[in-house]
Amino acid sequence: MRTKTLVLAAAISAASLATSMAQVYSVNAVGYVNVTVKKGYNFVANPLKNGGNTLAEILPPATTSLPSFAFVSTWDPTRGAIGGLNPDTPTFYAPEPGFEGAWDPAGPAIPPGQGFFIYIPPSAPQDSYTITFVGEVATGTLSTPIYGKNRYNALASQVPQAGKVTTDLGLTPAPDDMAMMWNKNATPPGYNPVTLVYTEGAGWNDGANLVEPELGVGDAFFLLRVADVVQPWSRTFNVNQ
């Protein structure tokens, strides 16, 4: 059994689906999103539906540019008292002569709306890699569960759209929600030092100023829900609006 570290994936371009979307090229709500990941931990999300959203479907070995020994970790908000990393951390083995490449083990499905980690090892021959998500833009009434009672949730927009999480992306916060954002432009990528808190009646703030969390296309973040409430991230989305 190989020793594996943590994970987190990074940059993403987006959309011609709306003015707030950047490099997603779409025909009939089917398109692709390019994401740049760097050495270290990158926190990303799959912004498009593709079959059962397994790793083999969203990042197929035959076409994925990741280096060998990159790996993926997903987050389970129901593990332990506050949530935790899944023990299953699929490692990527790049195609080579006589070998088609593979994720080993296959890993769980990673649907749109769920953040996950991609780790690029320091031994990788390049400093950064571009991965491409291909699939269909989710439409209609969309819902991502958020677990409360002091649990951490790895979240992302279910559609390839950038913006403020509440104003633009439809997240209804609960009192005392805390957002921990990831700085994908740092070397290596890592957490922003400031936690953004939602105060009922006042809005999102950094402790001194009103600051709302913002996401790029394919970005993920952690939301700590302190309140014991069942309140998913729900919105209705139509690419023609």
Q: Is 68 helix (H, G, I), strand (E, B) or coil?
A: coil
Q: Is 55 helix (H, G, I), strand (E, B) or coil?
A: helix
Q: What is the pLDDT of residues 56-95, one digit of tens each?
A: 999 999 999 999 999 999 999 999 999 999 999 999 999 9
**Under a CB-based contact definition with an 8 Å cutoff, are residues 161 and 17 in contact?**
yes
Q: Which residue has better confidence, 5 or 160?
A: 160
Q: Which helix (H) or strand (E) holds 71?
A: strand 71-76
Q: Residue 175: which residues within 8 A CB-CB, separation 6 or more?
A: 198, 199, 200, 226, 227
Q: What is the pLDDT of residues 186-225, one digit of tens each?
A: 999 999 999 999 999 899 999 999 999 999 999 999 999 9
Q: Is 58 helix (H, G, I), strand (E, B) or coil?
A: helix
Q: What is the pLDDT of residues 181-190, one digit of tens each?
A: 999 999 999 9
Instruction: Map tokens 């005392």 to a residue.
Output: 176
Q: What is the pLDDT of residue 176?
A: 97
- Residue 118: is its pLDDT beyond 90? yes
- As a whole number of angstroms, the longest Cα–Cα distance in the chain is 61
Q: What is the pLDDT of residue 241?
A: 61
Delimit the domains of the chain by residue range.
11-136, 140-237
Q: Which helix (H) or strand (E) holds 56?
A: helix 55-58
CA distance 124 to 104: 18
- Residue 26: is its pLDDT beyond 80? no
Joined together, the tokens standing for residue 130 give: 């571009």
Q: What is the pLDDT of residues 47-57, one digit of tens each?
A: 999 999 999 99
Joined together, the tokens standing for residue 175 give: 């009192």
**Under a CB-based contact definition with an 8 Å cutoff, are residues 46 and 12 in contact?**
no
Q: What is the pLDDT of residues 226-240, one digit of tens each?
A: 999 878 999 999 887
Q: Residue 183's closest CA among 72, 70, 43, 71?
A: 43
